[in-house]
A and B are shown apart, each in its own frame.
Chain A
């Protein structure tokens, strides 16, 4: 046999047929492949690092700002009047969601912009396992990173604001639920990012829609007549997500459980759109 063939298990086997190893594509193997792909790019490490940095740094900055504002004895900023150690520590969520969402878009749309998708889909021509694997692998990575970041931000932030009206400990009712909710929210933002990237097949397009959905649409909805606003507002992705990690809930916001369900709905919608396009369109 020539060197071109895979090393046969039995060297004397002359027939290529009998010596051929039995390869097979399985869901677990596609997951392993996507895991390897994620970590073999530098952009993953950089963006995840940035996300973690944003989450912790902005929490610490907000907590320090709150303490110095309190110490100076001046009139309290209105934002700070109801602040808690949780709300201050999670101030970085807005910025972290950008980093994690953008990386999610890159995970899928980046394959289209580089042409890698042709190699990927030639190896897994059934296609859907690729989408599920990407969303699972990246969603879990973002979830773990964001949860670690949320707890780190709270541990540092709560120490800074100890002895102030905002002071809270991990044992305080709802604190752990809020921090886990923040991690879950950011993990799902990552999943939505991967879905938007696969749906739009463009890095710029995916990021634009992600930013619009999470940051611009709430502003636009506030321009609607107030009778409509009340119906729509709390179901928007960003507000539904916020109720997942907010410590307190008023009559206009959803409960954490309802917020989670609504946000899951949005993620499922984005994934369904991505799956439809993946199956229907040529690459």
Chain B
């Protein structure tokens, strides 16, 4: 459980985090979303006490992080920037951290296995690839068997297998009843694992919602239907809560408010032939971009709507 109250961080004139209030609950994966520079990393650094808030407070399981007797047992954190000495081996890095808490050596071996670092544990961490470095960071985060796992951009630099591994890991951790807090600037990535979403932009809270609610607010799923008699189909489908759009002279209709099954049944009932019946999930990416449009810190100079969606 992480609770932030009016959490604020100023660096000189610039306000990185501006009065954030949120709660991250146990047993679910909470996604922490926002464009680059939105204050996600700063917030996470404040949670583990590396940065001191200018105003407000953030607690972990009811206490400030530094007040816990065994901090690594409360929160395991993977921070965005590298936090290892390149001259030390992965094993020695984890062992040095374990020694501060009296964590037994067998737990070090366990997290090395879980992170899939068994074959490289004795190698200098400086020789690690980006993906290996991320795995070492996650091994360190799991070391204290923490109740809360907090990962800043964990899929950065990981290959597809690594990305899948992170997804399964996050889901498994939440299923064990832990608090999982994971940041990303990619909605597509987070929506696959997260149930709850905290969306920030320019240090402010933009939304504290669930994936389902965000979908609903974005207008729900659309069904694309193609028929040789669009005008008739349109009259048949029309009703309260149903929205239908089509282009003049086109055979295609875009329907929201009805499922593909309902549309198919109604069309069959009225003997209207259908050529296509496709459900298109609402693009969370677009909903997210809509939310954060005004809060994006660094706009590309040639941003087109077509390219920005697929760039992710």
Contacts and interface: CB of A to CB of B under 8 A. Distances in A.
Nearest to A33: B99
B99 A29 contact: yes
B123 interface: no
B242 to A, nearest CB: 45
B114 A4 contact: yes
Interface stretch (B88-96, B155-163, B184-192, B231-239): B88-96
B106 to A, nearest CB: 7
A119 B176 contact: no
Contacts of A16: 147, 176-178
A282 B45 contact: yes
A213 interface: no
Interface in A41-69: 41-43
Interface residues of A, number: 41
Contacts of A115: 81-84
Interface residues of B, number: 50
A123 B45 CA distance: 13
B66 interface: yes
Interface string B27-51: 0000000000000000001001111
A111 interface: yes
Contacts of B102: 23-24, 26, 29
B112 interface: no
Nearest to A41: B87
Contact of B95 (A2, A36, A41, A117): A36
B85 A123 contact: no
A173 interface: no
B207 interface: no
Interface of B: 45, 48-52, 65-66, 69-73, 77, 79, 81-89, 92-93, 95-97, 99-103, 106-107, 110, 113-114, 140, 142, 144-145, 147, 169, 172-173, 176-178
19 contacts: A3-B114, A4-B114, A7-B107, A22-B70, A23-B69, A23-B70, A24-B69, A24-B101, A29-B102, A33-B100, A37-B85, A37-B96, A40-B92, A114-B82, A116-B88, A118-B79, A122-B77, A123-B100, A124-B100
